[in-house]
Each structure stands twice: as structure tokens, then as C-alpha cells.
């Protein structure tokens, strides 16, 4: 049911095809995040029209509301949210990490209090897998511990727990129609990242994720970590960089051999009135756009840029209309999905490096 075909390489950049029960995923790919079984402000049809190939949903949030048993009774996430293409669910590890003092980690798992009502819950590797099997995504994630990136003593303990939990996740998994990815941890420490990459690679997961980045470390540390990890991860399996989603991050991640990306950033920026472009972010609430007839980006082919002016979008923001977030979300997600497709074409044509240099140059000039 699952197969990764690495079709072309251009340096370390890769173009591939990952086959799943709900369709093929052409990589490199950006995956919009639908935390609560919805990409905020957008319909599935709008996402399909942007050529989105795969969505993410969040195990922690769906466990709390509406609950995995209810979703199972609706025949899983695909039917529940009316999305017939691939879905990936995370394990809830990052959300548990984000709870801070509301959670307590031990060797067996994590006890935490809900951010909604303070009720107490527990996740173990076995519980995380059972929840994800009820949700029914095509790709599911091993339960891991994401820790602060520069605390060496704790990071090592968290990494070792992540390895033990990965073994337990493999043993707990029952469904054959779901691909379980292992997660590499180790903070910003090269020796720990190397150790983790070797351990996770040895377990024969169908794909590998790189976790614990974009959590406060510098860009330089993130990129150096990717260099270490991707030298070790087996090339014949997809590589997924978790929670990363700027134009710069996609370019530099793909340059280092990453295939898959996800991030809430495009829709979060949209709700804060910001548009993503190859020349940097634009604050669409700015008064200078009051009579601006131009689209957000003259070169963009998204629905928003093909139909609406900057002046109209600013008007929607100024009057607090919901359509503002929708139109900006369409543009921001389209920008990253379209960028992924353009990069794939450039890799196939052996032209990735010059293409990437031009984009980075434009971003640097605008900063």
C-alpha cells in the first residue's frame, strides 16, 4: 500500500512519489495543517482547487474534541471531514510538550491536563497509536518527546524515551493501511542527532520525521541539524521536517534532502492580516493599500490574486469581515504549495540550485 519512489535528485534535493491508499503524494510537498479536522477558514473544495495533495490533523486536539470513537463511527477522518486525499496525523507529542506545567512525563508516557477544562488525561505510545488508528489517517506518527532544543541533559533523556516509545509504537500498531513514521530527536546537538537518526533508521519505518526543530533554535542550528540527520537517514524513504513552513525554510530544507513539510503559519499569518510572498511578508492592513488596485502579488495565480485588489482585502480587514482570513489563507497556502511544485520541476530539470538562489536573493533584498 505504501511505496516511495525517489525519481530524481539534484544535489541533495529530491523529487519523489509516495504512494498511499488515498492517492500519490508528489514530493517535495507542503502540507497544510487542519488541526481540528479543518484548515481554518477554508473548505475542502478550495484546498483541492489549490492542488493540495495531503492535509494534517492533530491527535491531541481531536482526542479532546470530538473524540476518536466518534470519528471512528463516522468511518474515520476522510469521511468525517470530506477529504478523499491522503491525511497525516501527528501523535500529540508536540502539543503535550507545549502544555508546560500542565504535563508530567515519565518512562511510560505523559499525564497531562486538558487546556480546555483542566481534566486529567494520559498518553502512552500504545494509546497514541490506538487513537490514530481510530482516526484512520494514511500516515501516522510515533509518540515522541519534544524538549527544549539546547538542554543537553534533558534532551538526551527525552531522545532515549523517544527511541523506547518508537519501539513500543511499532509493536502496538495493528492496521496495515497506515504508514507509521519514526521521529528523530536530539535537539541541536550533532552527536545526539546522529545517534537518534541511526537508531530510528534501523527500525524499518516506511518514512522518517525530523522533530524538535523550529521550537526556538536559530536558523543556523536548524540547518546544521538537517545536514547531520539527512546524511544518515536512508535515501529510499521519505523525510518529513515537522512544523516548518516559511519560503526560506522550504528552500533550505529541500536543499538538504527534505521531502515533506507542514506548518500552521500560512493560515495563522492570514488571521493576522499578513500575506506571504517571494519578496517577504506584506501587512495587508497597512493604510497605504487603501486605494491600491494591484493584487497581493502580480505573479501569483491563486484565486485571491486573480480576482481581488489589495484595497479590497484591506477593506475586509478594516471591517473585520471573515472573508479577509479566507482570501489571505488561500493566497498563503497556494504560495507554498505552488512553490513546492515549482521546486519539483526545477529538480527534475536539474536547475534547483539557481532557482533557489534567486528566491533567497529576493527574500534577502526585501528583509
Catalytic residues: 90, 262
Direct distance between the N- and C-terminal alpha carbons of the chain, in angstroms, rounded to an integer: 45
For residue 56, the SS3 value is: strand
Alpha-carbon radius of gyration of the chain? 20
For residue 259, the SS3 value is: coil
What's the Cα-to-Cα distance from 91 to each of 65, 170, 183, 311, 336, rounded to whole Å?
Answer: 15, 13, 10, 42, 24
- Bridge partners (DSSP) of residue 274 are 283
Angle among Cα 342, 345, 346 to the nearest 5 degrees reads: 90
Query: What is the β-pairing status of strands 207-210 and 179-184?
Result: parallel
For residue 117, the SS3 value is: coil
- Residues 190-215 as b or e (16 or more Cβ within 10 Å = b): eebbbbbbebbbeeebbbbbbbbbbb
- What order of strands is seen across the sheet that includes strand 87-89? 29-32, 260-263, 239-241, 207-210, 179-184, 139-141, 87-89, 55-57
Amino acid at each position: 500500500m505504501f511505496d516511495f519512489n525517489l525519481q530524481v535528485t539534484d544535489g541533495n534535493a529530491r523529487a519523489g512519489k509516495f504512494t498511499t491508499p488515498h492517492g500519490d503524494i508528489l514530493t517535495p510537498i507542503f502540507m497544510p495543517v487542519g488541526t481540528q479536522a479543518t484548515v481554518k477558514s477554508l473548505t475542502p473544495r478550495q484546498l483541492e482547487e489549490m492542488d493540495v495533495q495531503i492535509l494534517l490533523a492533530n491527535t491531541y486536539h481531536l482526542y479532546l474534541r470530538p473524540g476518536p470513537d466518534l470519528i471512528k463511527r463516522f468511518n474515520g477522518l476522510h469521511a468525517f471531514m470530506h477529504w478523499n486525499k491522503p491525511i497525516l496525523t501527528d501523535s500529540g507529542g508536540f502539543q503535550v510538550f507545549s502544555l508546560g506545567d500542565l504535563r508530567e512525563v515519565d518512562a511510560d508516557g505523559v499525564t497531562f491536563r486538558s487546556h480546555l477544562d483542566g481534566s486529567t488525561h494520559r498518553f502512552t505510545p500504545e494509546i497514541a497509536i490506538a487513537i490514530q488508528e481510530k482516526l484512520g489517517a494514511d500516515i501516522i506518527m510515533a509518540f515522541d518527546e519534544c524538549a527544549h532544543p539546547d538542554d543537553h541533559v534533558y534532551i538526551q533523556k527525552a531522545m532515549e524515551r523517544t527511541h523506547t516509545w518508537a519501539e513500543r509504537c511499532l509493536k502496538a500498531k495493528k492496521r496495515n493501511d497506515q504508514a507509521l513514521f519514526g521521529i528523530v530527536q536530539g535537539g541541536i546537538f550533532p552527536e545526539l542527532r546522529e545517534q537518534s537518526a541511526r537508531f530510528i533508521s534501523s527500525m524499518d519505518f516506511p518514512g522518517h520525521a525530523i522533530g524538535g526543530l523550529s521550537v526556538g533554535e536559530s536558523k543556523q542550528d536548524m540547518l546544521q541539524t538537517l545536514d547531520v540527520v539527512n546524511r544518515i537517514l536512508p535515501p529510499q524513504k521519505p523525510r518529513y521536517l515537522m512544523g516548518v513552513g516559511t519560503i526560506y525554510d522550504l528552500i533550505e530544507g529541500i536543499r538538504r534532502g527534505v521531502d515533506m513539510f507542514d506548518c500552521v503559519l500560512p493560515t495563522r499569518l492570514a488571521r493576522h492580516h499578513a500575506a506571504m510572498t517571494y519578496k517577504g511578508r506584506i501587512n495587508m492592513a497597512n493604510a497605504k493599500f487603501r486605494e491600491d488596485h494591484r493584487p497581493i502579488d502580480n505573479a501569483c495565480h491563486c484565486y485571491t490574486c486573480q480576482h481581488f485588489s489589495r484595497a479590497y482585502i484591506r477593506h475586509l480587514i478594516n471591517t473585520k469581515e471573515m472573508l479577509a482570513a479566507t482570501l489571505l489563507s488561500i493566497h498563503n497556502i497556494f504560495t507554498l504549495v505552488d512553490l513546492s511544485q515549482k521546486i519539483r520541476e526545477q529538480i527534475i530539470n536539474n536547475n534547483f540550485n539557481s532557482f533557489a538562489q534567486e528566491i533567497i536573493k529576493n527574500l534577502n533584498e526585501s528583509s
